[in-house]
Chain A
Amino acid sequence: MFDFSILFASVLNGLTSGAVYALVALGLTLIYGVLHIINFAHGAALMVAMYGVYELYSKLGIDPYVALPFLVLGMFLLGYALQRVIINHASHGKDENILLVTLGLAIVLENLALLFFKSDTRTIDTAYSLTTIAIGPAFIALPKLIAFAGALVVSAILMLLVSGTDLGRAIRAISKEKQGAKLMGIHVEHIYAMSFGIGLACLGAAACFLLPTYYVNPQVGSGFVLIAFTIVVLGGMGSFSGALIGGLLIGVVESLGGLYLGESLGQIGIFIIFIVVLLFRPQGLFGARA
């Protein structure tokens, strides 16, 4: 039905979108893998990060890519504080309460944004926002290519962090065996907060890659939550390589689904995959069997 150039462009496009989804999912999978909480506030946190990028650009003229280290650090601190101060205390360790707390946080963040930034959609127009690079028969927007490369780099850094550093070892220890880790002298509260912080830091990076071609308003985060959950499940909860590959895969599925079934019905492909994976291979592509 579609000739090769269209298919090729669609797949490439899916890969670049998927890379950004993967970044969002990376944070979610870390948070789930370590803290075993489903972070309902993930979308709202992404929105906060995107406003951060927007403000730095519009008020101080800082390019989103230049702002990346600041956003990553800022979101890390926010995440650390949220986990240590609010989520940890409010939930008394019960799963259902953590759910409510993250939900409450999501509502608070969304409406604080509404208060401070009003409800209108904001966009930034950088010099390269509309630049496209020709790859074969396809035109891919430059910011999306940068996002693709960026997501790979960030995932690599994350994986190195978790496998190579003391912090990473502590994180892995806690996610496998909390009591044992405590007995070994690992400060669980601190590591939990560090993990949540790193999870949100990924969103800081994702925001920098998104804003040149997307937009921000108080509700923008909610559009990414479901798809991020799908990727986490597909890749395997707690697996970074899973989140990355899952993200790319879902991006391509979404793109091809949209091409063949229409942009509305095409979304169904994502959730069918979600259900099928959950039923037949709940550990996902790379996750460990529970």
Chain B
Amino acid sequence: MTSRRQFVTQTAAAATLLAFPMVGRSQPAPVKVGVIHPVTGALAYSGQQCRAGALLAIEEINKAGGIKSLGGALIEPILADAQSQPAVGAAEIEKLNEAGVCSVVGAFASAICLATTQAAAKYNLPHVVDVGVADLIVQRGLTNTFRFGPGYTSVAELAVTNLAELNKSAGNPAKTVMIIHEESLFGSGTANLLQKSLPQVGFEVVDVIKHANPTRDFNNIVLRMKSLNPDIVIPANYYNEYALLVRTMQQQKVKPKAIYSVLGGAASSYKFIKEFPDASSGIIDCNHWYNPKNPRSQDLKKRAQAMGLFFSYELFMTYTAMTLLADSIDRAKSVDREAILQALMSSTFSSHIMPYGPTQFINGQNIGGRPLMTQVLNNDIKVILPIEYREAQPLFPLKS
């Protein structure tokens, strides 16, 4: 099919935009890596942010001399669009496989990741999952699937522990909690977990509200909030709905003791605080975050912002996934898929910008992965927990 040749040439052309200019000497064959994301359709924004993260990583690695153990071979990204549909993602994996990629990074959304990892497994193609927080992804016994970041179970558990800690150190001002979540896999899964574990640390869940994607209006939910008056509001949803919810709360003058989100769509988003400085003030999030003490993360942030991009979790998660992969290819000393799989399985990758514990993959999940708690303070996002990464004192509760 000519489309394959076209698509390889197009993406190769894209790759040469980033490849470090060669200086005369003979260059070893480039290492082809598939980069698959939903860059069109409903998830386009996140998909494009992820892709940007991958390309930033590749640019950096190539500039630093490529894959050292392969004689300085440069990484060549083969880009693919999952069009926000699992079936398309799976079809693109077939193309990536035939284009000769040695491994794949992608595909942001859990539903799409389920399809792409499974399609890749047929060819023993290593697939690093960049975001996709559903636990299902690493529970199918697929040996080709690796997720560096935490899944929503571990994020939710830590969120609950941290909330209890925050509450205790402020003298336990908060007792009641209201959970507001989006209706699909991520929101429902997270809410289910929170609903079960919060009572175990002494909180009363007064209501769990599910909403659609998209939701045009949050006034009813905020009205319920007014009537139930929970101490803490816990949103677990995507950017648009999160922003609407918080703005509506501001409009209706509803001020809980804390807005504490778990994997909140806009809670730790530079875009959100720039556009809504008042509504976002004081919001706490338990979410993917970079290591604030690592100068390389500040560096990456600057590079992203110089390109006019917001430094969002999609960007640094995929960036990190790509650096993990590059490290594994280097340790494998080859582009053989099995070798790379083995390298990933035994990886102890530590030169990354995430605040994780020691890297160890068990059944494809890096058990060192964990979220951080951040809070929007003085129009900036600061890490408040765990203590070793704290950048500012948490403000809890927001009002006494």
Genuine A/B complex:
yes
Interface residues of A (CB under 8 A from B): 2-3, 6, 9-10, 13, 17, 111, 114, 118-121, 123, 125, 130, 132, 139, 141, 213-215, 217-220, 223-224, 254-255, 258-259, 262-267
Interface positions of B from 187 to 222, Cβ below 8 Å from A: 209-212, 214-221
The residue from A13, A132, A215, A264 contacting B183, defined by CB atoms under 8 A apart: A264
* Interface residue SS majority, chain B: helix
Contact (Cβ within 8 A) B227 A262: no
Which residues from A are CB-within-8-Å of B244?
A: 214-215
Pairs A-B, 3 closest by C-beta atoms? A119-B44, A119-B45, A263-B211
Which residues from A are CB-within-8-Å of B216?
A: 17, 214, 223-224
CA distance A9 to B219 in the complex (A): 9
Contact (Cβ within 8 A) B48 A121: no
Interface residues of B (CB under 8 A from A): 40-42, 44-45, 47-48, 183, 209-212, 214-221, 223-224, 226-227, 239-240, 243-244, 247, 250-253, 271, 275-276, 278, 310
CA distance A121 to B275 in the complex (A): 11
Name the residue of chain B whose CB is nearest to the CB of A9: B223
Contact (Cβ within 8 A) B275 A114: no
Contact (Cβ within 8 A) A263 B221: yes
Q: A125-B276, A217-B45 are in contact. Are A262 and B253 (CB under 8 A)?
A: no
Least Cβ–Cβ distance between A279 and chain B, in angstroms:
25
Least Cβ–Cβ distance between A31 and chain B, in angstroms:
22
Contact (Cβ within 8 A) A258 B240: no
Least Cβ–Cβ distance between B42 and chain A, in angstroms:
5
Contact (Cβ within 8 A) A10 B220: yes
CA distance A120 to B49 in the complex (A): 10
Contact (Cβ within 8 A) B220 A13: yes
Contact (Cβ within 8 A) A215 B243: yes
Least Cβ–Cβ distance between B212 and chain A, in angstroms:
5
Name the residue of chain B whose CB is nearest to the CB of A258: B220
Contact (Cβ within 8 A) A263 B209: yes
CA distance A234 to B240 in the complex (A): 29
The residue from B219, B253, B275 contacting A125, defined by CB atoms under 8 A apart: B275
Contact (Cβ within 8 A) A6 B247: no
The residue from A9, A10, A130, A217 contacting B250, defined by CB atoms under 8 A apart: A130
The residue from A2, A139, A267 contacting B251, defined by CB atoms under 8 A apart: A139
Name the residue of chain B whose CB is nearest to the CB of A120: B45
CA distance A112 to B239 in the complex (A): 22
Q: A130-B251, A262-B209 are in contact. Are A255 and B240 (CB under 8 A)?
A: no
